[in-house]
Structure 1
Amino acid sequence: MKKLTLLAITGLLITACQRDHLEDSSAPFEMTQTSAEYITVSSLPVTSVSGHITSNTTWSGVIEIDGIVTVKDGATLTILPGTYIKAKPKDTALPTGLLVITKTGKINAAGTETQPIVFTSYRLLDGDENTIPQPGDFAGVILLGNAPTNTPSTTTIDGLFGSDYYYGGSNQDHNGGIMKYVRIEFGGSDILPQLIHEVTSLTLAGVGKGTILDHIQVSYGKDDSFEFFGGNVNATNLISFAPDDDNFDFNTGYTGTITCALSLADYNSTHSLSGSVYDSNGIELNNNPTGIATSLITHPIINNLTIIGAWKAAFGKNYGKGIYIRRNGKLTLNNTIVTGYPTGIKVEGTGSELSSNSDYTSIKIHGFDVAAAGAGTAGISAANLLIGSASPGWGMNQPFFNEGGWNVSPGNCGNFQGLWTKYNFSILE
């Protein structure tokens, strides 16, 4: 294999923004290696961090998180544009590389189009072009806030224990800071797997509308890409690429608005199972895990949503539903395209519904086996419900990642193929 020449450190930022995103997109996930961008970054000095951050702190360059790093007690963590964050490998049941912003902390992670902030696999930054990253190499980022949820405010986020990790409250204007032009790659973690605690690549729990989330891409997560537990934070320009489980998961009273979002499948990635059934969904939405009706109902509004699965049913069988609304949850959709899943949209259980506040004329749903079923879906025009063994383009020019040269225009409302994004992790020959 042709070797890559390490570039001078002074040329790092230029190199990082000149990469090609789409070479060899048909290469199997399990065969990909480190690309030039990461080889270059791996030559930089590394700063190791661990424990609690209790005073204002700034990160730059390459940061290695040792275990769990918790921002609290009024501290703000500032991460400068172009910073790379990895985990220190650990051979334990504890997560490796987990950043937690508590109710009493803030994050200021404002990257740019040409210098995004990147949380990624330590295997990509080891200087070896043949190293293969794995989902779970970086545990993830957790933002906790005191905005309303439908669980007690003494609830801890899944997998962590103690009052530092409580989320929820009554402050709808909670401000946890900013995350903008950020990538999180190969995230997720199992904590004490026998107890089934899981960490998602980006977890937002009780986060309020004072927080800014914009231009965030999550790729190859071990569990979900984005998971919202209550709160009312709004988000714009989100990309979920090839998670093992769900692309977007909503629970425990989330009521924010998401504007411009893409979920994009790589059918060579790993796929989660529930028993023997594949259950990776574009969206999974519950009011709460038990489906109990509460005064605050999980009910996000999503505008300009594109969910792209597999082109053909033979590959789509490894997925579940494009949109799955259940357990008393509700969802409002506007300008939505779903394609490439066995079931396009399914609403299940008493109290669950696709809200009548949706713009039904702007919703287009395809399923290999079932287009739409359940409360509220009858409002979608029959002309916008398709069933078939091959996915339609829905006006997009070849939107399927594995088929080469993918493009989701006109659904590309968020610069989904811009310089800040990353889809191919293989070496550049």
Structure 2
Amino acid sequence: MKKLILKISTITLALGAFVFSSCSSDDDAPTPPSAETTADKLKKGEMNGELEENFTLDASTTYELTGKFIVKEGTKLTIPAGTNILVKASGTESYIAVLKGAQIDIQGTAASPVVMSSEKGNPGDWGGLTICGKATTTAGVDAVAEVGGFIYGGTNDTDNSGSIKYLVIRGTGAQINPDAQYNGVSFYAVGSGTVVENIAVINGADDGVEFFGGTVSAKKLYLENNQDDSIDWTEGWNGTIDDAYVAHTNDGFSTVVEADGENKNPKINNLTAVNTFQANGGSGTALQFKKQSGATITGLSLVGYKTSVDMKDGGALINVNLNGATADPAKAYNLAATVDITGWTWIGAQLSLTGKLGGSLTSDLTLDASVAYELESFLLVQDGVTLTIPAGTKITARAGGVSVYIAVLKGGKIDIQGTAANPVVMSSKDGNPGDWGGLTICGKATTTAGVDAVAEVGGFIYGGTNDADNSGSVKYLVIKGTGAQINPDSQYNGVSFYAVGSGTVVENIAVVDGADDGVEFFGGTVSATNLYLENNADDAVDWTEGWNGTVTNTYVSHTIAGFSTALEADGANENPKLINFTAISTQNGTALQFKKQSGATITNIFLSGYATNVDMKDAGALSNVQIDGADATTTNPYNTGNQVDISAWTWRSAGL
């Protein structure tokens, strides 16, 4: 039987060779697509998998940690200053681990720290950062970590696992089982060649930092509301910590410092711990030493702890030297603070989230002001849908020309909730004229174009019979770099109002550096208050199709040559009103231009620097234009009115 099988196998192999050689004489067989590597995922902003090649993250990308991210032996992960890592997956299946023989280089700065956090930064959301090295530990060589089963420990006390500078990490401490949890940062047998400076661990469900043997030292640790121990060590760690500040504002934590195992006499120079959650004269334990563990701590300052020193297992007090003397549990050690964190502003760094916008909204959406949004294409707010944009929200529009814009369709609503202190900003990255299409709002009010007219931009439908129509509210909006060109005769504006009704609120808008108009009204009855319009290359204010609202307090600035007008009116005269209109040019040009039979009533006008103040383009009647109670003239300089005071309009300068 064995011989028979052998013969069949031989025939099969021979046939396979024949088929292979026959195929090779024809076109090559298609190559199957290669599997996506972890580096490929990183290029798309996803952190998940095992990294087996050196890689440098991009600080302009918000990376999403969607599972276990492991830096393999011989590999280096570099994280530049200002990088944000958003933890999307939760629990113990989401962490960053640097294995024995690998390196991590976190290059944060005081101005631009690296931030790793879950979205809400709640305790236990994820597993934090674990680093494994080759230094000595009482657990031996190639010990197995309680988290992840990682291998650590060796004989090289000067081992180098990289560098960590200016890292803020939040929401760690995911629970593995009742006896084991991840820490904010875990150092497993990490050697003294590793640099650790300026780390903040905030809202951890377990320890802030824990050292499992090793010789690594650290400088400037900020540890806030970590629910177990702020600083923990075991397995004979014998490094040094310089300047640690611990803050407890919540009850239920374990200790400021917990030491366990063999005493290798690690050192802490300057430790300040403050517990503001006080009851019955204080709460919680500051320093706890288990078994025969110990330390030398100088510059110890404790405030608000019920127990200053706890020798948990009856270890010798002489193992612990505090401020130059043997530890004394009867002392409170409530000296003046020895660590000053007033200059540690980096500890307050928050995750700078990035959200993608684009497509068609078919249900209500409220943006989050803490998220930096990127408008990648058009965003259409459909009939019956409301887009809400809270104060302080910033939207960066891709410089994609006419394919990038926000449009509120007829029946849709937008609610921009900016404030003077926190305006909403929409701009391309560089804010160059024509980078993108701006904001268009379509309503149901009347227009001389009729019902269900078709807009020149986007083919949007607008116009109806409800002059009190409500398309929402726009308050404190700064918009830059608009005016993308559709064709030689048509461009997007900063903000376009197509048949928008009087029920819509428009207050405090700045349109800066647009390639076409600042604001344009296509019919409708909407009014506006406080418009700031700077260097819009066509008309600062434009209307047509019988718009008959009111604009109160307009300031137009022209400092770049080549613009068309400060104000252009066209079409039927429905006598819209302008109250307090100031326009100042350093480049000559035309101030007010009225086409066909258009007109307006303007009260309190101030013009300066224009070569032409009033231009009746198509010889319309000057009586159509009433300025300060009289027919307009083409000779009046109109420079005696009161200028609109924009000194308090500081919001207009807001940027991305």
Same topology, TM > 0.5: yes
Paired amino acid for 2:344:
G
> 1:114 maps to which residue?
111
Alpha-carbon spacing, 1:312–1:82, altered in 2? closer, same or farther (3 Å): same
Residue identity matched to 2:48 = S
Indicate if the aligned counterparts of 2:101 and 2:134 stay in contact, CA closer than 8 A: no
Per-residue CA deviation, residues 261-292 of structure 1 (Å, 9 max, x unaligned), is 1111122xx635xxxxxxx10001111xxxxx
Q: State yes or no: 1:188 paired with 2:152.
A: no
Stretches of 4+ aligned residues off by more than 4 angstroms: 423-429
Aligned equivalent of 1:70: 70
SS at match of 2:211: strand
The structure with the largest strand share of the pair is 2
Deviation at 1:316, TM superposition (A): 4.0
d(CA) in 2 for partners of 1:116, 1:72? 25
Mapped to 2, the partners of 1:55 and 1:111 lie a distance apart of 22
| Rounded Cα–Cα distance in structure 2 between residues aligned with 1:298 and 1:67 | 36
Give the conservation status (yes or no) of the 8 Å contact 1:64–1:97. Answer: no
Return the offset for 1:351. 4.4
Aligned to 2:140: 152
Measured after TM superposition, the shift of residue 354 of structure 1 is: 4.8
* Counterparts of 1:342 and 1:359, CA distance in 2: 19
Which structure is higher in RCO with an 8 Å CA cutoff and minimum separation 6? 1
Contact 1:262 1:306 in 2 (8 A): yes
- Asked if 1:271 corresponds to 2:252, the answer is yes
- The answer to whether structure 1 residue 282 and structure 2 residue 244 are counterparts is no
Provide the aligned C-alpha RMSD in A. Answer: 2.7
Q: Counterpart of 2:255 in 1: which secondary structure?
A: coil
- The Cα of 1:419 is off from its aligned counterpart by 2.5
- Equivalent-residue separation in structure 2 for 1:57 and 1:224 (angstroms): 29
Residue of structure 1 in register with 2:164 after alignment: 179
In structure 2, the residue matched to 1:405 is none
For 1:340 and 1:334, locate their aligned partners in 2 and report how far apart those are by CA, in whole Å: 19
Q: Supply the distance in 2 between the matched residues of 1:46 and 1:83 (Cα, whole angstroms).
A: 15
Alignment of 1:419 onto 2:345: yes
| Contact 2:293 2:319 survives alignment (8 Å) | no
What's the CA shift for 1:350?
4.9
Partner of 2:241: 258
After TM superposition, the score normalised by the length of structure 2 is 0.44
Q: Distance in 2 between matches of 1:83 and 1:423?
A: 11
Aligned pair in 2 of structure 1 residues 51, 183: CA closer, same or farther (>3 Å)?
A: same
Q: In the alignment, which residue of structure 1 is the partner of 2:336?
A: 395
**Structure 1 contact 231–254 (Cα < 8 Å) conserved:** yes
In structure 1, C-alpha distance between the alignment counterparts of 2:305 and 2:44, rounded to whole Å = 42
Task: Return closer, same or farther for 1:350/1:386 CA change in 2, 3 Å cut-off.
Answer: closer
Q: Which residue of 2 aligns with 1:330?
A: 294
* 8 Å Cα contact 1:322/1:339 also seen in 2: no
User: In the alignment, which of 40, 52, 55 is matched to residue 53 of structure 2?
Assistant: 55
**Residue type at the aligned position of 1:395:** A
Structure 1 portions without partners, runs of 5+: 1-44, 124-132, 273-279, 288-293, 362-375, 397-409
Deviation at 1:159, TM superposition (A): 2.5
Distance apart, 1:147 and its partner CA:
0.5
From the superposition, tell whether residues 114 and 315 of structure 1 become closer, same or farther in structure 2 (CA, over 3 Å).
farther
Distance 1:70 1:315 in 2: 46
Using structure 1 for the length normalisation, give the TM-score.
0.67
Q: Structure 1 residue 249 and structure 2 residue 190: aligned?
A: no
Check whether the contact 1:332–1:354 (CA below 8 A) recurs between aligned residues. Answer: no
Q: Summarize the Cα distance change of 1:112–1:353 in structure 2 as closer, same or farther, 3 Å threshold.
A: same
Q: Show the counterpart of 1:306.
A: 272
In structure 2, do the counterparts of structure 1 residues 248 and 263 end up closer, same or farther at CA, with 3 Å as the change threshold?
Answer: same
Alpha carbons of 1:216 and 1:114: their partners in 2 closer, same or farther (altered >3 Å)? Answer: same
Counterpart CA distance in 1 for 2:320 and 2:291 is: 18
Q: Secondary structure at the match of 1:302?
A: strand
SS in 2 for 1:113: coil
CA distance in 2, matches of 1:46, 1:395: 49
- Structure 2 residue 160 is the aligned partner of structure 1 residue 232: no
- 2:309 maps to which of 342, 345, 352: 345
Amino acid at match of 1:62: T
Deviation at 1:237, TM superposition (A): 0.4
Deviation at 1:180, TM superposition (A): 0.4
Identity score, percent: 27
Instruction: Quote the offset at 1:338 in angstroms.
Output: 1.6
